Amino acid sequence: MLAFLPMDEAIYSVRMHAQRAGAHLCGAERLVPQARIEETAATLVRRALAHPRGRAEGLRLAVDLVDKEGVLHGRLPDVTTVRVGDFCSGRALAAQLLGGCGVTQAAARFALDTLAAGAAPDGRSMRGAMLVGAHSGRRLEPDAARGVRVTRMDLSARAEQSLGAALAPYGLDRVQVREALVLAAKVLAAPGVVAELCWSDDPDYLTGYVACAELGYVRITELKPRGDERGGRAFFVDERNLDLQGLCNFLERQVFLADDIGTVHPPREHL
């Protein structure tokens, strides 16, 4: 992830969202100084035009000045990779892990089944994430097609270097892992969030994860069959005294900068 945030310069949020055939294709973002806005925008556009699921047909870029005083600083969760034999084993493990995060099995199974079937009303992947009651399993997001999009986040330069060095020995120093870790860190910092479940909608990227405060970020090597374009995210929330609008505002508007990393553990086999 490109991240260079000098203390004496203004910071801008650069965000990209791409569509293909009227559906979400990909999104990405950076926090950068003014001098790197053009370079960063070009990188994000190239990414959308070379996506594994096809070239973007619609593309939006947004650039906003960030209030540096309002930046929330945080830490990336610890990382564990668990190898599984197939996606069925992976989903069973995900349900088990979510139970350890305080999510009921009914809520975990609902989220797994919904993501597998396509969480949007038309059976495709959502643009954002589902909000799922950790106890009831009810969907709570205001828009079932759009979901809730997590934006305005990045790594500091120091954390980027440390993370790359920690991930590289396990072959994990890849953009998908870096970006997912930053997103998971912001989600876990959000008020009312209990846990997250995610797997990619890229047809050849099978790995997903469960994340929560108790377990950190647990990568599961297979959470869907190869070739399946359905994927997405579910954020499990504590319905008790939940400020839904405040949570959505935090996820979509609060600027988050991870300037420290957790421990990256060696991969292990699922028994």
pLDDT in tens, 146-198: 899 999 999 998 999 999 999 999 999 998 899 999 999 999 999 999 999 99
Which residues does 48 contact at the CB level (< 8 Å), separation at least 6?
16, 18, 25, 26, 55, 56, 59
CA separation for the pair 100, 86 (Å, rounded): 22
Please tell me the predicted confidence (pLDDT) of residue 59. Answer: 85
Share of the chain above pLDDT 90, in %: 72
Of the two residues 3 and 179, the one the predictor is more confident about is 179
Band the pLDDT of 271: cuts 50, 70, 90.
low
Q: Please state the rounded mean pLDDT for residues 54-72.
A: 87
Please tell me the predicted confidence (pLDDT) of residue 5. Answer: 47
Q: Is 92 a residue whose pLDDT tops 80?
A: yes
| Backbone dihedral angles phi then psi of residue 43, each to the nearest 5 degrees | -65, -45
pTM of the model: 0.91
CA separation for the pair 82, 63 (Å, rounded): 37
Three-class secondary structure of residue 74 per DSSP: strand
Q: Please state the rounded mean pLDDT for residues 108-135.
A: 94
Three-class secondary structure of residue 1 per DSSP: coil
| DSSP string computed for 235-257 | EEE--TT--HHHHHHHHHH--EE
CA separation for the pair 82, 142 (Å, rounded): 34
Band the pLDDT of 27: cuts 50, 70, 90.
confident
Q: Is 205 a residue whose pLDDT tops 70?
A: yes
Can you name the residues that pair with 257 across neighbouring β-strands?
73, 154
Please tell me the predicted confidence (pLDDT) of residue 217. Answer: 98
Q: Please state the rounded mean pLDDT for residues 25-45.
A: 88
Can you name the residues that pair with 193 across neighbouring β-strands?
237
Please tell me the predicted confidence (pLDDT) of residue 8. Answer: 67
Please tell me the predicted confidence (pLDDT) of residue 21. Answer: 73
Q: Which of 119-123, 195-199, 214-218 shows the lowest per-residue confidence on average (mean pLDDT)?
A: 119-123
Q: Please state the rounded mean pLDDT for residues 53-82.
A: 90
Please tell me the predicted confidence (pLDDT) of residue 29. Answer: 87
Q: Please state the rounded mean pLDDT for residues 201-215.
A: 94
Band the pLDDT of 4: cuts 50, 70, 90.
very low
Order across the sheet with 153-155: list the strands. Answer: 72-75, 256-260, 153-155
* Torsion on CA atoms 253, 94, 51, 204, rounded to nearest 10: 180
| DSSP string computed for 155-189 | E-HHHHHHHHHHHGGGT--SHHHHHHHHHHHHHHH
Q: Which of 19-23, 88-92, 131-135 shows the lowest per-residue confidence on average (mean pLDDT)?
A: 19-23
